[in-house]
Amino acid sequence: MLKYYYIDDISKLQCGPFTSNELLRKNIRPETIVWRSGMADWAEAGTLQELNFLFDTKVPAPQDRREEQQTPPPIRPQQDRQNPTYNSGQRYQYDDQHKWDGIIPMPKNWLIESILLTIFCCSPISLVGIFYAVKVETLYSKREYEASQEASRKAKLWTLWGIAFLPVMYMLLFILGLLTALLQY
């Protein structure tokens, strides 16, 4: 059975092995770099006729056949596939061939913190933090990096407000209890 490896467009990590039918669920694009045993080097998925069914719904998926498993060759950097380091002031854009020329790390989403605050501290404010935390990954996967960073900033803000909410409420309850006790005497 032919097994394919591919380079994830966002994380730039090698993924696999997968059968050609399993690649259907992996959102492979024609520009995605793939490799299988028998290939001399990595190639774009759109250049492999056997993977055309991934991009054209009229072409049926092939039946997988058995073949010896090999390890893929190491990924060699090429001139058009450099990974520049992230610089928040730098704008990343598509080049002429619609290949992403850089990778921006996903910003912290603050989801775990918001969920824990909601569960353990009963902080309703942290629900807004959960909303923005979910938006971070959604926007990042759509390659809306600036919007993803803004959602991360808002998720952090609402999470911190959720943390501050609890002591403020305890202080207000304490003061209210003192006032009630004083008014009873």
3-state secondary structure string across the chain: CCCEEEECCCCCCEEEEECCCHHHHHCCCCCCEEEECCCCCCEEHHHCHHHHHHCCCCCCCCCCCCCCCCCCCCCCCCCCCCCCCCCCCCCCCECCCCCECCCCCCCCCCHHHHHHHHHHHCCCCHHHHHHHHHHHHHHHHCCCHHHHHHHHHHHHHHHHHHHHHHHHHHHHHHHHHHHHHHHHC
pLDDT at residue 95, rounded to an integer:
41
Contacts of 126 (CB under 8 A, 6+ apart): 113, 114, 115, 117, 118, 158, 159, 161, 162, 165
- Give the mean model confidence (pLDDT) for residues 4-8: 88
Q: In this structure, are residues 94 and 101 in contact, taking their beta carbons and an 8 Å threshold? A: yes
Q: Which residue has the higher pLDDT, 108 or 86?
A: 108
Can you give the pLDDT at residue 19? 87
The predicted model gives 163-183 an average pLDDT of 89
**Is the model's pLDDT at 146 over the cut of 90?**
no
Give 143's pLDDT tier (boundaries 50, 70, 90).
confident
| 102 pLDDT above the threshold of 80 | no
Average pLDDT on 26-49 reads 87
pLDDT of amino acid 66:
52
Q: To the nearest whole number, what is the mean pLDDT of the chain?
A: 77
Is residue 67 scored above 70 in pLDDT? no
**What is the reported pLDDT for 92?**
41
Question: What average pLDDT does the segment 2-14 reach?
Answer: 84
Mean pLDDT of 127-131: 90
**CA pair distance 72, 3, nearest whole angstrom:** 10
Interval 144-169 mean pLDDT: 89
Choose between 71 and 110: higher pLDDT: 110
pLDDT for residue 181 is more than 60: yes
Q: Is the pLDDT of residue 93 over 80?
A: no
